[in-house]
Amino acid sequence: MRSRRSSRSLETLRPPCMASGTSPKKKANSSLLRLGPRSAGRSEQKLADASNFLCDVIDAVPDPISVEGDDGKYVMVNRSFAELVGHARDEIVGCDVASMRPAVPGDGRWPDVSDEHEITWPAADGLMRSLSEKRAVLADRKGHNVLVSVMRDVTERKRYEAQLALTERLASLGTLAAGIAHEINNPLSYVIGNLAFAVDTLASDRACGDAAPQSSEIRNALSEALEGARRIAGIVRDVKMFSRADRETLKLVDPTSVVEASLRMVQSNIEGRARVVREISEVPRVLGNEARLSQVIVNLLMNAVQALPDRPAAENQITVALRCEHRAVVMEVRDNGAGISEESLRHVFDPFFTTKPVGEGMGLGLSICNSIINAHGGRIDVDSTVGIGTAFRVILPAASHLVNRPPSP
């Protein structure tokens, strides 16, 4: 049943909503003077029905609507507004506007109310909402001004816009990284070729007995240089794989190669911080995009590193597991770090949600990872206990062919 307060509020605000000239209310009053009691009763019932219908219409609007009196108190709100602030309408009507909503910059008693603006609102669910607000000043039948506000939640739109901007920036960085990797790879191939030639020549001279006394030391030095150059070549290859442009191309991918390449990418971040434990089993290939999947594992590994407390590296552990479960391939990254609270765990895949200090992350990494895996027909599960650690599991449908891999020595 509609409360009398809502009906009276709407009745008070009805005249300003009409066009200029004699309002329907005044016309109805003059008509009532000419009608008998029975007709007047029917007219009053029609007015009450119209008022209740208008209440229902305003309540059905999904956007938060509020009306503020010239005394700075709420006169009326709809259901969406009450849900936004987390209070019953009876608790809101009559309350000071300043105590319920964020201030609008430059709001000196409603100037420039025709301008649309955005505000950030701490909603009842604890999340910050971005709202686009339009306002209009009306006069009630007593000549008092009221401010009508209609807001629209644009949080998701802004998140997608920010995610698109980040994706475009990452694409630009990927193009740049691929170009740099190509430029490094060309001269590096000459270095590797010449080092290999020098090592082979020294080995040949030694076999023929023509080697100089220092040839053994020179050969060892060249061998170490060759190994270092090959490691650089491997890094360049991983960067090119990670940043290449054909990210939407799907093909049969070896999950082991994805995991190993991702570990090499973050090796410098893990060294000195934790020990890595590999639990790698032979698994089927998956239909996916190698660069995208590597992006996910790299992100999970970096999150694991950042979750580790400041203690000796021997006490910190990151476990990377690869196994097959129920015709699915599971790639798991576990850490024994700080863990995630139950409240934060519910929002861990939400865009822009982060527990990191300001400036140390946008909160988009796990959201993007989740989108990538969903696009592959899989999912990401997470378990965490505060003070014990966190486990992220990437679960992908397995392809029908097993990877042909030689047995481990």
Residue 392 pLDDT: 95
Residue 196 pLDDT: 83
Long-range pairs of 44-49 with CB within 8 A, sequence gap ≥ 24: 47/11, 48/7
Residue 275 pLDDT: 93
Question: Measured between alpha carbons, how far is 367 from 350 in angstroms, rounded to an integer?
Answer: 6
For 156-245, CATH gives 1.10.287
Express each pLDDT in 81-128 by its tens digit.
988 888 888 888 888 888 878 776 555 566 556 677 888 888 777 777
Residue 96 pLDDT: 85
Going by DSSP bridges, is the β-strand pair 74-77/65-69 parallel, antiparallel, or unpaired? antiparallel
Going by DSSP bridges, is the β-strand pair 128-139/74-77 parallel, antiparallel, or unpaired? unpaired
What is the DSSP-derived secondary structure letter of residue 96? B
Question: Measured between alpha carbons, how far is 350 from 365 in angstroms, rounded to an integer?
Answer: 10
Are the C-beta atoms of 320 and 259 separated by less than 8 Å?
yes
Are the C-beta atoms of 56 and 78 separated by less than 8 Å?
no
Q: Which fold does the domain 247-409 belong to in CATH?
A: Heat Shock Protein 90 (3.30.565)
Q: Which fold does the domain 4-153 belong to in CATH?
A: Beta-Lactamase (3.30.450)
Query: Of 253, 241, 250, whose CA–CA distance to 403 is shortest?
Result: 253
What are the boundaries of each domain within the chain? 4-153, 156-245, 247-409
Residues of the chain with pLDDT under 70: 1-41, 104-114, 166-176, 178, 205-215, 238-248, 351-364, 400-409
* Domains 4-153 and 156-245 agree in fold: no
Are the C-beta atoms of 380 and 369 separated by less than 8 Å?
yes
What pTM value is reported for the model? 0.47
Residue 318 pLDDT: 95
For residue 143 the two structure tokens come to 């000549």
Residue 180 pLDDT: 75
b/e code 281-315 from CB counts within 10 Å (16+ = b): eebbbbebbbbbbbbbbbbbbbbbbebbeeeeeee
Residue 285 pLDDT: 93
Mapped onto helix, strand or coil, the DSSP state of residue 331 is strand
